[in-house]
Amino acid sequence: MDTPTAEIDIDATLVDRLVRAQHPDLAGPLRLVANGWDNVIYRLGAGMCVRLPRRAVAVDLIHHEQRWLPGIAERTGPVVPAPVRAGTPGAGFPWPWSICPWFEGRPAADVPPAERAPAATDLAEFLAGLHTPAPPDAPHNPWRGVPLTDRYAAVSERLAGTPDLGALWERLVATPAWAGPPYWLHGDLHPANLVLAPSGPGRLAAVIDFGDLTSGDPAADLATAWLTFDAAGRAAFRARYDALTDIDPDTWVRARGWALNLATALGLHSDDNPRMAAISAHALAEVR
């Protein structure tokens, strides 16, 4: 399955008009750096970027980031791209948009899994800060943070041709459900949404793309242990997270189930995206 078609053409001329009309003090050179499922991102000058929804379904995601990320950044530190300015519809563009900080570095997805291990403790510390009880009006996401049993039918269908993984899924989905309060979740914590510092031993520079921000079972985020790392990195990630939290062992079992869920979903929707296809293949190998 391919990336959804954009519902509006977003080029540099349009973005420049928006910035100059609403935030002229930040106007500068623009360069397209990402055109994903839901958003287009242009780098703005040296230190910022412009994030714009490319489909109507992503508009609420921009609203969520503008409302909630500043508070989350206060708890988790400067690795969160909390918007510095909020944009409104105008110049022929019908939806809200954001100007966010730009983080220098490389997507973890472009680094071999064995070289991501230095970021494991940084990511664990980020999640320990993020995973706190969320308020009742936190964004709702019917596909992330929900009981693993809610994903049973979809994942079982995707695994119909792989009996070994199907049997593993049956065991994992039977794990007791999360009994704690709904925690804040990133919701889409795979290596394409992690930026590694350009210098030094691959430390974490940023966690990006909070479009799936929601609340629920922290196992949904901890699935990154299989999506992002190899065995050594995963062990370091778990050890640090366990040292900072009182999470129970069943949550790690569900996290493996979430990794299987997310890996099969990424594989299904990555016909035109080799990076996501590679993330899926890596996670399916690690989760076995």
Please check whether residues 85 and 204 belong to one and the same domain: no
Secondary element (H or E) of residue 40: strand 39-44
Asked whether residue 7 is assigned to any structural domain, the reply reads: no
Angle between helix 120-130 and helix 231-244 axes, rounded to 10 deg: 40
- CB-facing half-sphere around the CA of 259: CA atoms within 13 A: 28
Tens-place pLDDT, residues 216-240: 999 999 999 999 999 999 999 999 9
DSSP string, 169-237: HHHHHTSPPP-SPPEEE-S--SGGGEEE-SSSSS-EEEE---TT-EEE-THHHHTHHHHH--HHHHHHH
Residue (of 212, 195, 190, 211) closest to 282 by Cα position: 190
Asked whether residue 247 is assigned to any structural domain, the reply reads: yes
Residue (of 239, 224, 232, 240) closest to 283 by Cα position: 224
Asked whether residue 1 is assigned to any structural domain, the reply reads: no
- CB-facing half-sphere around the CA of 207: CA atoms within 13 A: 32
Domain boundary among 75, 101, 127: 101
What domain range is 97 assigned to? 12-101
Domain boundary among 70, 101, 132: 101
The domain that contains 217 carries what CATH number?
A: 3.90.1200.10
- The Cα–Cα gap between 212 and 39 comes to 12
Asked whether residue 4 is assigned to any structural domain, the reply reads: no
Please check whether residues 273 and 228 belong to one and the same domain: yes
pLDDT at 2: 66
Tokens 């778990």 map to which residue? 238
Amino acid letter at 54? R
Q: How many domains does the chain have?
A: 2
Low-confidence ranges of the chain (pLDDT < 70): 1-2, 200
Domain boundary among 74, 101, 128: 101
Task: Please name the residues in contact with 214: beta carbons below 8 A apart, sequence gap of 6 or more.
Answer: 138, 139, 140, 141, 144, 145, 185, 187
